[in-house]
Amino acid sequence: MSTINKQRVVIAAADSYRPNKVNHALDEIFLGLGLNPKNPFDGYIQPGMRVFIKPNWVASRWRESCPHKDDLYSVITHPAVIEAMADRVALALKGEGEIIIADNPSIDADFEELMAFTGIRILEQKYDVPCHIYDLRPLVCKDLKDYGKKDKMAPQPGDPNGEVEVNLGKESLLYDVDSTLFRGVFDEREETVAAHTGDTQLYTISKSLYDSDVYISIPKLKTHQKVGATLNLKGQVGSITKKNQLVHWRVGSPETGGDEYPDRASWEKAQHAKVTHRGAHPGNDTIWRMVVDLYKSLLTKERKYFTVIDGIMAGEGQGPFCPTSLHSNVLLGGFDFVTSDIVAVRYMGMDPAKIKYLQYFIETNNINLNDIEVVLNGATVPGFFYAPTRYADFEVSPAWQVIKYII
């Protein structure tokens, strides 16, 4: 196997989810990354390994609060991409090892409805190695009207392999932030505050994922109202089993030390609204820190990584739950989650330096964008990040216009 170039990301065209189109695009990605398309993971994935494949399975249907209801595959990863990647993993395992395909969806998602919609369970019987599909959630919300109320949640088994608690301590970007206003998934904030006070900075991760030898992430190319874009890094929310450890905002408006709303007027208006968009603005100075923390938590154990970002049908506008479908007709592939997300965001027509969690890694890791090699339509694109174009030019919600790449 050739030397891996983590600074290279390949963007390949695919105008539908027909298997021949998906496989052709993946072969182009592997070839562009210096891999043998016939068996791309040979030597990277060894027989006997556990390979964890994480799609974006955030929802099983459109929420009633969405202003429109489009194609659900603008929200979740398409099964054709998952299957094509699992095929290649099974080939590399040579009859020894294990494949786990799993996610921790939004707490209100109906997993069996999701399984029926995608038809993905067929993969459990397809390969000569065990292939398991798991719902990693220990708690689910049976009725959306109970969303946010922990005592109304229904328990379920969660990850059959258990969970692993990681304490980032002073390495957490929440370490020196006043935790008294932290808000997680549930209205009961005590658990969230306790998990992120002082030297205690806890994230509890699915053991199936944490103990994996290889982690393949297959997110959706999609906008996000709280962080700008949700790809590999933001998608790590789906690795966390204890959802209330995920700090989404600080309650209130800036006038009271919060970032739940951008200003006092927005906070007052929300007190009488049926549908609110808490934390959904660029001034949210909390959630991006959580995104950085999640990636840091992953890195506490050594494993191999690979990603394919599903942008054949993408989601623009009011992501992650209510986007508008966009046929951007691409798959993006690479070995490094951070580099791949940076390229994907720029391809979406945004400035990665204006997305706070990406800006953090660009600055902290001293990433020179000119050092990232981007292959598009089979050719390396010099100056990809500074070209006078927005490429796919995704629409964003009004508050997020500030992240658009300036031509």
Please give the pLDDT value at position 146: 86
Q: Give the number of domains in the chain.
A: 1
Structure letter (DSSP) for residue 46 = P
Please give the pLDDT value at position 5: 84
CB atoms within 10 A of CB 336: 20
Rounded Cα gap, residues 297 and 233, in angstroms: 11
Is residue 283 in some structural domain? no
Q: Which residues lie closer than 8 Å to 315 by C-beta, 6 or more apart? A: 74, 75, 220, 221, 222, 223, 323, 324, 325, 326
CB atoms within 10 A of CB 313: 22
Please give the pLDDT value at position 2: 56
Say if CB 337 and CB 218 are below 8 A apart: no
Please give the pLDDT value at position 217: 98
CB atoms within 10 A of CB 308: 27
Backbone CA torsion sign across 240, 243, 246, 249: positive
Using DSSP bridges, classify how beta strands 8-13 and 330-334 pair: parallel, antiparallel or unpaired: antiparallel
Please give the pLDDT value at position 4: 79
Please give the pLDDT value at position 74: 98
Residue 255 has phi, psi (to 5 degrees) of: -65, -25
Please give the pLDDT value at position 276: 82
Strands (E), 116-275: 131-135, 139-140, 154-155, 163-167, 182-183, 196-197, 200-206, 214-218, 220-224, 228-230, 249-250
Mean pLDDT, 10 residues at a time, over the chain (407 residues)? 81 98 98 97 98 98 91 98 98 98 96 98 98 97 87 95 98 97 95 97 98 98 98 98 97 96 92 85 97 98 98 97 97 98 98 98 97 96 96 95 96
Please give the pLDDT value at position 1: 55
CA distances from 400 to 18, 227, 238 (A): 34, 9, 24
Rounded Cα gap, residues 20 and 166, in angstroms: 41
Rounded Cα gap, residues 250 and 107, in angstroms: 21
Is residue 217 in some structural domain? yes
pTM of the model: 0.97
Is residue 41 in some structural domain? yes
Please give the pLDDT value at position 147: 85
Enclosing domain of residue 111: 8-164+206-240+291-403
Is residue 192 in some structural domain? no
Please give the pLDDT value at position 277: 85
The two structure tokens encoding residue 162: 């258990």
Say if CB 44 and CB 22 are below 8 A apart: no
Is residue 136 in some structural domain? yes
Is residue 179 in some structural domain? no
Please give the pLDDT value at position 223: 98
Is residue 183 in some structural domain? no
Strands (E), 361-403: 373-376, 379-380
Is residue 305 in some structural domain? yes
